[in-house]
Amino acid sequence: MARTLINVPKAATAGEVVTIKTLISHPMETGFRPGADGRIRPRDIITDFTCLYDGEPVFRAELFPAAAANPYLTFTLRATRTGTLTFTWRGDNGFVQTETATLTVT
Amino acid sequence: MLAALATGSAGAGEIPPAEIPPSEIPPAERRSSFDGMSPDIQAMQRDADANPGLLWLQDGADLWSTAPAPDRPACAGCHGEAATAMRGVAARYPTWDEATAAPIDLQGRINACRRRHQGAEPYAYESRELLGLTAYVAAQSAGLPITTPADARLGSARSAGRALFTRRMGQLGLSCAACHDGNHGRRLGAALIPQGHPTGYPLYRLEWQGLGSVQRRLRNCMTGMRAEPFAYGAPEFVALERYLMDRAAPLPMETPAVRP
């Protein structure tokens, strides 16, 4: 399991635009660099990130080899109801990681 | 023109005498390289959600409380809470190691502790484990001023570190002091030359795309000077670290820092 840091505001008012910040530990190996033995290291990157708000997709990003290691993604969404945010990172070699957080709307 | 060239080449065979400014940076003028960074990278270091060094800190926190073997204590088993037990520790390292009667830095102390008290193999330098644990311990001192222990036994390490800092080395004939004492605040290509204070190690360097120790940084600099870098854990590095920490006091610790 990769390490992640997720910041969701503790509480929001209905209709408020909130900022979500996510950071995940990942080497994002480009597939273009030679290793210590001179061979090209195989590509190992995160290719897709999605955020679901109570099952409904609210943000999605495709990532490519130019993205830096430990990708930091931040985005905004309109808080309408108390619900669960599900973050999923998918990548090469079957990499899948899912984290959840609760957004409380008052 | 020809005459000037001839005169110029006549002296080229001799190594010029070391022209190092003798004065060190006065304490009031010491600046962390944090001040010279772009606002974006400063924000990345400050923001507890964007600083990638915190990912290593999570590893370190786990290792702190995990026993290496069922019959051996975890770090927390002897030291307790890191937040209280390790507060201010990194700000006074490298220090004197009684067992080996030699100076020891924080990474060396962690590995020595593993061997002596946990009966475990030391971690490899620059491994995720050693960097994580070192960063976790050092982060407990974040914000505290670097102090200079008054231990007289560290005197020889201090003077050896100072000598290494001012000694010309490598094919370019540079010394640490040539840039960091004599020309800090000016530019080397596009990069700002910092005063060279190790306030935030282990730190996340964007160029490395990962966390690295002060020794990795020093080896980097030595390669840039076209000198042969000392090996990881070499006594020369411990002496240099001791001198650099004296030279940086009383700047606050910043671990885990972010640098370009």
Mean pLDDT, 10 residues at a time, chain A of 106 residues: 92 94 95 94 96 96 95 95 96 96 94
**Residue B153 identity (one-letter amino acid):** R
pLDDT computed for residue B125 by the predictor: 96
Alpha-carbon distance of B259 to B207, in angstroms, equals 8
Contact between chains at B206 and A72 (C-beta distance less than 8 A): no
**Residue B221 a catalytic site member:** yes
Count of residues making up chain B: 260
Least CA distance to A28: which residue of chain B? B209
pLDDT computed for residue B12 by the predictor: 45
- Across chain B, which has 260 residues, the per-10-residue mean pLDDT values are 42 48 77 93 92 95 93 93 94 94 96 94 95 96 94 93 94 93 90 94 95 96 95 96 94 95
Does B41 lie at the interface with A, CB-CB under 8 angstroms?
A: no
pLDDT computed for residue B173 by the predictor: 93
Shortest Cα distance, chain B CAs vs residue A73, angstroms: 9
Alpha-carbon distance of A34 to A52, in angstroms, equals 37
pLDDT computed for residue B4 by the predictor: 44
pLDDT computed for residue B49 by the predictor: 86
Least CA distance to A29: which residue of chain B? B209
The listed CATH number (1.10.150.130, 1.10.760.10, 1.10.238.10, 1.50.10.20) that belongs to domain B29-260: 1.10.760.10
The CATH-assigned architecture of domain A4-33+41-103 is Sandwich (2.60)
Q: Which of B78, B113, B176, B221 is catalytic?
A: B221
Cα torsion through B171, B176, B179, B185, rounded to 10? 150
Q: Which neighbouring-strand residues pair with B191?
A: B188
Shortest Cα distance, chain B CAs vs residue A2, angstroms: 9
Contact between chains at A70 and B54 (C-beta distance less than 8 A): no
| pLDDT tens digits along A72-101 | 999 999 999 999 999 999 999 999 999 999
Alpha-carbon distance of B123 to B138, in angstroms, equals 17
Q: Kindly provide the residue ranges of all beta strands, DSSP E only, lying in B24-145, ordered along the sequence.
A: 95-97, 102-104
pLDDT computed for residue A54 by the predictor: 94
DSSP B197: -
> Based on C-alpha coordinates, what's the Rg of chain B?
20
Shortest Cα distance, chain B CAs vs residue A21, angstroms: 7
State how beta strands A96-103 and A17-24 pair. unpaired
- Complex-level ipTM beyond the 0.85 threshold: yes
What are the boundaries of each domain within chain B? 29-260
Tokens for B89?
Answer: 């520790």
